[in-house]
């Protein structure tokens, strides 16, 4: 029986992945038409309107997909590094001389067309990661390998932060999902979860309660690692008692001139130093892990306070406070999310029907054709329509993961998981911000939000994976 690799170009590609892509792109086009419908220009093919231009971008994307499928699979391996450094240079140039849109300097003008290189940079970064990690045996087994992998991710991420495009930079954190598949150290993910928990705790808890929580985390971590629960209780109790004693005896005097959390942190650090001296005298080396973790968490929570007060812009501060439920301004910074939730909720189970949405028809939702396109789906198609869209994205992500697992060499596997990671991050962040579970950071819903840069970049991203899957029996290494 002939295998799929012998059936020619279109017989060897993953038909399911292509079908899901085409269906999502078509649904996105119709959603843009519903969100931006203009009675004076009712034709969906009207090129003077965004929904008409989206058809042009879909055509350009399909042409790009065809070009990708016609290329030799080794091309992506060979040009991974040049593409990465080229896009990094372009990103830096855009940060300096690019056009500013909605506060982010991430666009360049090519005639009358605005292009966002940030989207293509994700493709280049995925290829560079796949190239680097596939050219080495166990690249994550050494500290040097881990540092180099992190640098590949950090370079474009840092430049994008300079462009003031926090949302796009946040997507690069999704590569941690791929790294987990490639046997990245599991404890790092526990540490990241702790970082997020402390970030939220620094806003939701007072200083004393946060100190108690930090002590408990240190105690549980050290006790679980050493399995010496009783002895560790005394150490952590001594640390907490010493910190509170130093603060209330001596710190209360200077707290009139120094912020409370600074005094408490200083007292805790003095107590930690005393405990280190005690451990050295008794030759108890294992306690150093707890002390180091304790000091690190205290310093981190103070860095959060400083960054929030002195580094973040007022609108960023307000978004964080609104997300955590500390403050709300439904007519100010919280307006977008509030209108988004109202719109999605008004759709009910099956929605109001095609072009039947009142919230979107009367422009109650800002950016409803781009970042908040999911509101149109929720209002017109209801919960059932949202479930269909999320299910299709989930199927595409799972398909990409399956394509990665059936690769015979690591380059294709790593790249497929990078694509799945990027799609998952966009899906979670975009839908999360429309329903109030994530901060509003301004990233598109793949294949749905209006925009040529986003659509073409995601098309190239996905179809490179499909091409590599069609060549999975070939050795792509040099």
Q: Tell me which of 269 and 182 has the higher pLDDT.
A: 182
Instruction: Please report the pLDDT score of residue 196 as a whole number.
Output: 80
Same domain, 132 and 40: yes
Do 133 and 239 belong to one domain? Answer: no
- Is 419 in the same domain as 272? no
Residues 165 and 96 in one domain: yes
Number of domains making up the chain: 2
Residues 24 and 148 in one domain: yes
- Report yes or no on 256 lying in a domain: yes
Number of other CB atoms surrounding residue 469 within 10 Å:
24
d(CA 432, CA 270): 42
On whether residue 362 sits in a domain, the answer given is no
Q: Residue 367: pLDDT band by 50, 70, 90 thresholds?
A: confident
Q: What is the pLDDT of residue 162?
A: 85
Last residue of a domain, one of 292, 311, 330: 311
The answer to whether residue 352 sits within a structural domain is no
Residue 29 · residue 58 · CB < 8 Å: yes
- Burial environment of residue 227 by CB neighbours within 10 A (0 to 12, 13 to 18, 19 or more): exposed
Structure tokens at 309: 């007060």
Last residue of a domain, one of 311, 345, 379: 311
**What confidence tens digit (pLDDT) does each residue in 382-416 have?**
999 999 999 999 999 999 999 999 888 889 999 99
**How much is the pLDDT for 342?**
86
pLDDT score of 40: 82
Please tell me whether residues 215 and 88 are part of one structural domain: no
> Is residue 24 pLDDT above 90, yes or no?
yes
With cut-offs at 50, 70 and 90, classify the pLDDT of residue 286: low
Question: Higher confidence at residue 14 or residue 10?
Answer: 14
Q: Which of 13, 58, 11 is nearest to 33 (CA)?
A: 58
Whether residues 210 and 154 fall in one domain: no
Instruction: Provide the mean pLDDT of the chain.
Output: 80
408 lies in a domain?
yes
**Length of the chain (residues):** 478
Q: State residue 105's pLDDT score.
A: 79
More confident residue, 263 or 460: 460
Query: What was the pLDDT predicted at 163?
Result: 84
Lowest mean pLDDT among 20-29, 246-255, 427-436: 246-255
120 within a domain of the structure (yes/no)? yes
What pLDDT shows up at residue 101? 74
pLDDT at 6: 45
* Mean predicted confidence (pLDDT) in 27-41: 89
Share of the chain above pLDDT 90, in %: 30
Q: What is the mean pLDDT of residues 419-447?
A: 89
Same-domain check for residues 196 and 254: yes
Same domain, 138 and 274: no
pLDDT at 99: 81
Q: Is 71 exposed, middle or buried, given 0-12, 13-18 or 19+ CB atoms closer than 10 A?
A: middle
Could you say which of 282, 311, 340 is where a domain stops? 311
Q: Is residue 96 part of a domain?
A: yes
> Which carries the bigger pLDDT value, residue 261 or residue 70?
70
Please say whether the beta carbons of 459 and 65 come within 8 A: yes
Do 162 and 216 belong together in one domain?
A: no
402-425 burial code (b ≥16 CB/10 A, e <16):
ebbeebebbbbbbbbbbbbbbbbb
Query: pLDDT (tens digit, 9 = 90+) per residue, 135-152?
Result: 887 778 788 888 899 999
* Structural domain contains residue 321: no
Separation CA 286–CA 238 (nearest Å): 16
Domain that holds residue 45: 4-183+403-470
Residue 244 shares a structural domain with residue 294: yes
Residue 361 lies in a domain: no
Segment among 1-10, 191-200, 317-326 with least mean pLDDT: 1-10
- In this prediction, residues 305-318 reach a mean pLDDT of 76
Distance CA 328, CA 322 (A): 5
Same domain, 227 and 133: no
Q: How many CA within 13 A on the CB side of residue 97?
A: 4
């Amino acid at each position: 029986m002939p295998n799929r690799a012998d059936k020619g170009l279109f017989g060897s590609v993953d038909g399911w992945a292509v079908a899901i892509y085409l269906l999502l792109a078509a649904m996105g086009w119709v959603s843009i038409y519903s969100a931006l419908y203009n009675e004076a220009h009712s034709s969906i093919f009207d090129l003077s309107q965004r929904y008409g231009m989206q058809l042009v971008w879909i055509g350009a994307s399909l042409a790009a997909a065809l070009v990708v499928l016609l290329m030799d699979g080794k091309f992506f391996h060979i040009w991974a590094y040049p593409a990465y450094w080229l896009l990094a240079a372009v990103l830096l140039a855009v940060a300096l001389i690019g056009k500013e849109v909605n506060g982010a300097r991430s666009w360049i003008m090519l005639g009358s067309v605005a292009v966002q290189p940030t989207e293509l940079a994700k493709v280049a970064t995925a290829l560079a990661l796949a190239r680097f990690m596939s050219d080495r045996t166990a690249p994550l087994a050494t500290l040097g390998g881990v540092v180099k992998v992190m640098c590949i991710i950090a370079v474009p991420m840092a430049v994008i932060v300079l462009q003031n495009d926090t949302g796009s930079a946040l997507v690069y954190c999704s590569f941690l999902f791929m790294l987990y598949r490639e046997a990245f150290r599991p404890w790092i993910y526990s540490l990241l979860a702790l970082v997020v928990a402390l970030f939220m705790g620094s806003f939701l808890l007072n200083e004393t309660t946060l100190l108690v929580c930090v002590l408990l985390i240190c105690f549980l971590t050290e006790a679980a690692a050493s399995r010496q629960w009783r002895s560790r209780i005394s150490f952590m109790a001594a640390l907490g008692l010493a910190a509170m004693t130093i603060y209330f005896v001596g710190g209360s005097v200077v707290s009139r001139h120094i912020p409370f959390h600074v005094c408490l942190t200083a007292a805790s650090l003095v107590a930690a130093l005393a405990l280190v001296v005690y451990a050295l005298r008794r030759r108890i080396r294992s306690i150093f892990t707890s002390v180091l973790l304790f000091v690190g968490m205290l310093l981190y929570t103070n860095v959060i306070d400083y960054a929030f007060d002195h580094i973040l812009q007022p609108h960023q501060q307000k978004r964080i406070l609104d997300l955590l439920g500390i403050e709300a301004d439904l007519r100010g910074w919280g307006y977008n999310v509030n209108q988004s939730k109202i719109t999605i909720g008004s759709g009910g189970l099956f929605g109001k029907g095609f072009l039947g949405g009142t919230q979107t028809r009367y422009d109650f939702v800002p950016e409803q054709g781009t970042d908040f396109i999911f509101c149109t789906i929720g209002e017109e198609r209801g919960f059932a329509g949202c479930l269909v869209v999320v299910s299709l994205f989930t199927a595409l992500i799972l398909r990409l993961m399956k394509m990665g697992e059936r690769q015979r060499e690591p380059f294709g596997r790593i790249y497929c998981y990078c694509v799945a990671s990027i799609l998952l991050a966009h899906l979670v962040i975009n839908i999360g911000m429309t329903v109030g579970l994530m901060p509003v950071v301004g990233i598109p819903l793949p294949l749905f939000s209006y925009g040529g840069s986003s659509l073409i970049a995601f098309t190239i991203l996905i179809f490179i994976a499909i091409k590599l899957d069609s060549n999975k029996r070939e050795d792509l290494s040099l």
